[in-house]
Structure 1
Amino acid sequence: MNKNEQLGVLESLLFAAGDEGLSTKQLTEVMEITYIEALNLLESLSEEYEQNQARGLVLLELAGAFQLATKKEHAAYLRKLVESPRITSLSQASLETLAIIAYKQPITRMEVDEVRGVQTDGPIRTLVARGLVADQGRAEGAGRAKLYVTTNEFLDAFGLKSLDDLPKLQEPGEDEVQDELDLFFDKFNRMEEE
């Protein structure tokens, strides 16, 4: 694989890793390259973003993990996107992710992934951007993954005084559980449409 192909793979991996980022150790294992090669690729990608002012991304290193981020000067446009009134309802994936976080908080992204059976990077980013979910520190153990919890905005959006007001879940397999969750999220979507 030539250097340009390696840079493309690196960029894809960083994009897929999202806010978690990737360590050089992870890059060396996944890309099957040496530590020095990983550092050189990271440096090349960072320089490419810096030199090409038309690019909207930068490469950051935070707490030993590398991640892609948007440029600060584009913040106003990103804010407009998140706050846009025509982008109000949450996707089914975001609603499912929100329900899992609400009932099992604090919870890591990987734990949410296990419950849903698919990756939830996008839905979690959406929920954080909307202020419905927040990062509440790190889990103990290897990797120290972020722990996610619901926010006061979540309570306000759903008209709840506390998490104790969430619909009670019954034994799995009972149709009433799904009915209650459907009513819960229908209420949220109606509120957003108003």
Structure 2
Amino acid sequence: MDLKLQLLGLFSAEQDDLNRILSKFQKQTLVKNQFYTQVGKPCQTFSYIESGYFRVFCHTESREVTQWIAGKGYFITDLASFIFNQPNRWSIQALTDATIYTVQQSDYQLFEQEIPSWSIMEKRFMAKCFMQMESRIFKFISTSAEERYQEYFENNKDVFQQVPLQYIASVLGMSAETLSRIRAKVNS
């Protein structure tokens, strides 16, 4: 299972601890357009994507904003809701049929009691998430729209085959028209 390798890489857990963590994840399937969670509702699950694509998005007064597109090998949740029991700030929707492994919030909270090194492992995971976010923000503010497109395309070619372009454009901070113009320029 890829989840085991991901957890091992993220947490450097002992085999017994890793097995205890894995035992709490349950396989789940979602169909295209099904919501994993929605704005305003509590998010009581944390999931690993085995297959499929999800978009993390919300509506502003003037438009819909896609914050992230997640695929195989990524984890999904609304972290503020999951950790702090706040209403979701983001909706998460399957863009394709998908298979995920999900742990319930109640089981996740037990890890701290059942696994002596959990607080260190969780801190390491959160630090990696924060580093990814920092890197993404820096790239966003320090590169041109064309450079963002080029990098995203090089690292996510499969996304362009599975996900509507307006969602990709939103992730890149541009309109669908700008994305189309950049793609035409790059492909000419």
Q: TM-score range by the shorter chain?
A: 0.3 to 0.5
Please say which structure displays the higher CA radius of gyration: 1
Q: Which has the higher contact order (CA 8 A, sep 6+)?
A: 2
TM-score under structure 1 normalisation? 0.32
Normalized per residue, the structure richer in strand is: 2
Normalized per residue, the structure richer in helix is: 1
